[in-house]
Structure 1
Amino acid sequence: MTSNLSDKTPAALTRLLTIMERLRAPGGCPWDAEQTPESLKPYIIEEAYEVVEAIDREDVEDLRDELGDLLLQVVFLARIHEERKNFAMADVIGAIADKLVRRHPHVFAGMPTGDAKMLADQWDAIKRSEKPEKNSEHPLERLPRQLPALQKAGKLAKKTGFNDATGGFTAFLEQAERDLKAVGQSLTGDDREQAREHLGGLLFTLAGLAAALDQDAEDILRVHNQRVLSHHIKQVTK
């Protein structure tokens, strides 16, 4: 098997791990030393979104830097848990490597390759076998609780079949029209709480439509927000 891995990768990773160890050690950086997994949570989310923004801008140089910032959070967490004698960075890397091999038997174990749906079902089946204690949970309970709402709505739509567009997209448009009408009726009656509930239904319907189009509603809205922001900035700076 040929590899495009740079010969510099192991040394670069070792250097980063050594720097983090020094920062956390006595005589290092007080701020780094006092961080905990809980205190790092907002930085992890922020850095992940900055990676996404760099991808949207197609800014390769910035993407490289943002990926480094995100990698720092992984190294940071691994170092904290190594100090607690839970696991180290090598365990993190080994675990994901093992998982990729295990979940791709059609690549690494000589099993036949099927279509995309078969491979997705195979992935899910292997995933369930890895943690049988979670098999008693309803599949919907396995969705991460901290997912952005629109993204979670899209995943819920897929798992509940609400993204089924075999009969076309008319059903989605009709449901969205009903939801929007219900919002209007609630506002006419000055019932803002009910309007809020119907607005939630409208957003879920639109997330389902996005899922039916194999799109992510969260991504669609994020890109549109950036367009609005850029347009507004151009208008006020003329």
Structure 2
Amino acid sequence: MRPIDHLLELMATLRDPVRGCAWDREQSFATIAPYTIEEAYEVADAIDHGDMAALKDELGDLLFQVVFHARMAAEAGDFDFDDVARAITAKMIRRHPHIFGDAEQRDAQTQTIAWEATKAEERAAKGHDSVLDGIARSLPPMTRALKLQGRAARVGFDWAEAKDVIAKITEEVAEIKAEIDADAAFERLEDEVGDLLFVCVNLARKLSVDPERALNRANMKFVRRFNHIEKSLESNGQPIGEAGLEAMEALWLDAKMLERQGDGR
């Protein structure tokens, strides 16, 4: 038996109304979706760490999620795992006519343009009227912002240069300051902070920086430097809650200096 067939059989057993697992039987698309998203992030984390053993395991976990959804759809009479495989195969063939059809060979840039054109045709065939249609609302907000901006940019709605975006960031910061000075309602502050974050994502896009990856690097940097503060204070027998901001900021700067020395700067 092929491994995939064994996995499909296992999933059917877990969902069996009589001899299956009570937890697995109770699940629905909605309850499983968060696990699917979590597994995708764990795949990305394994890749980020260059851990191939973990990547193998996490890809298996993600595949199990696909099998789980497909099994529930089969039980409802909508589609099964084979239909999923056929659909993605047909889509990839359709989007690669230069490989599987009679179109001319394309370089990476030309293929990207053609890929987006094919996706636009597919969206139109589904009745999507807007350029922005089809971007999942369930995506992480930063990722969705990036995709929305990219779609708009393809039809010319974009800043010419990154420095233009920086000017917009300055404008958005000024608007937040004005709302704070006016003692604005929370909703106004939330709107303005959202605008600032949206423009920051745009700056990352203009610089060809992945904002999710950049923020993740910033998160890890923060943890690393804050750990330095904690360890330094602990070595001096001082509780962190009693150190004070000035002392902690000095140790933060010390952590930055040590990092630069380690980088050879």
**Structure 1 unmatched runs, 5+:** 1-9
The residue number in structure 1 matching 2:202 is 208
Give the counterpart letter for 1:187 in structure 2.
Answer: I
The change in CA–CA distance for 1:21 and 1:153 in structure 2 (over 3 A counts) is same
State whether residues 162 and 207 of structure 2, in contact with CA within 8 Å, keep that contact through their aligned partners in structure 1.
no
Change (3 A) 1:163 1:132: closer
CA RMSD for the aligned pairs? 2.3
Match of 2:13 among 9, 22, 32: 22
Larger RCO (alpha carbons 8 Å, 6+ apart):
1
Q: Which has the larger radius of gyration?
A: 2
What CA distance in whole angstroms lies between the structure 2 residues aligned with 1:233 and 1:11?
48
Q: Assess if the C-alpha contact under 8 Å between 2:179 and 2:189 holds in 1.
A: yes
* Amino acid corresponding to residue 87 of structure 2 in structure 1: A
Q: 1: distance between equivalents of 2:196 and 2:72?
A: 43
The number of residues matched between the two structures is: 228
List per-residue Cα deviations over 1:173-197 (Å, max 9, x = no partner): 1111111122122212222443332
**Cα distance in 1 between the residues matched to 2:70 and 2:133:** 27
Counterpart amino acid of residue 71 in structure 1: L
How far, CA to CA, are the matches of 1:76 and 1:234 in structure 2?
A: 43
Counterpart pick for 1:92 among 81, 84, 88: 84
Instruction: Quote the Cα distance in structure 2 between the aligned partners of 1:202 and 1:188.
Output: 17
The CA deviation string for residues 135-159 of structure 1, in whole angstroms up to 9 with x for no partner, is: 4521112211111111111122222
Indicate the residue corresponding to 1:188 in structure 2.
181
Higher mean C-alpha displacement, 228-237 vs 90-99: 228-237
Residue 171 of structure 2 corresponds to: 178
Alpha-carbon distance, 1:222 to partner = 2.5
The code of the aligned residue for 2:191 comes to E
- Paired position in structure 2 for 1:125: 117
Question: Once the 2 structures are TM-superposed, how far is the Cα of residue 100 of structure 1 from its aligned partner?
Answer: 0.7
Q: Secondary structure at the match of 1:141?
A: coil
Q: Is the 8 A contact 1:148 1:218 kept in 2?
A: no
Alignment counterpart, residue 11 of structure 1, candidates 2, 27, 32: 2
Counterpart AA for 2:169: A
Deviation string 1:86-112 (CA, Å, 9 cap, x unpaired) is 211111111111111111001111311
Letter in 1 for 2:6: R
Structure 1: distance between partners of 2:107 and 2:133: 27
Distance, in Å, in 2 between the alignment partners of 1:208 and 1:170 is: 11
Any conservation in 2 of the 1:163–1:209 contact (CA below 8 Å)?
no
Corresponding residue number in structure 2 for 1:141: 133
SS class of match (2:203): helix
Q: Is 2:139 aligned against 1:150?
A: no
TM-score where L is the length of structure 1: 0.85
**TM-score using structure 2 length:** 0.77
Match of 1:4? none
Mapped partners of 1:133, 1:203: distance in 2: 33
Aligned counterparts of 1:97 and 1:224: Cα–Cα separation in 2: 38
Q: For 1:39 and 1:153, locate their aligned partners in 2 and report how far apart those are by CA, in whole Å.
A: 25
1:6 paired residue number: none
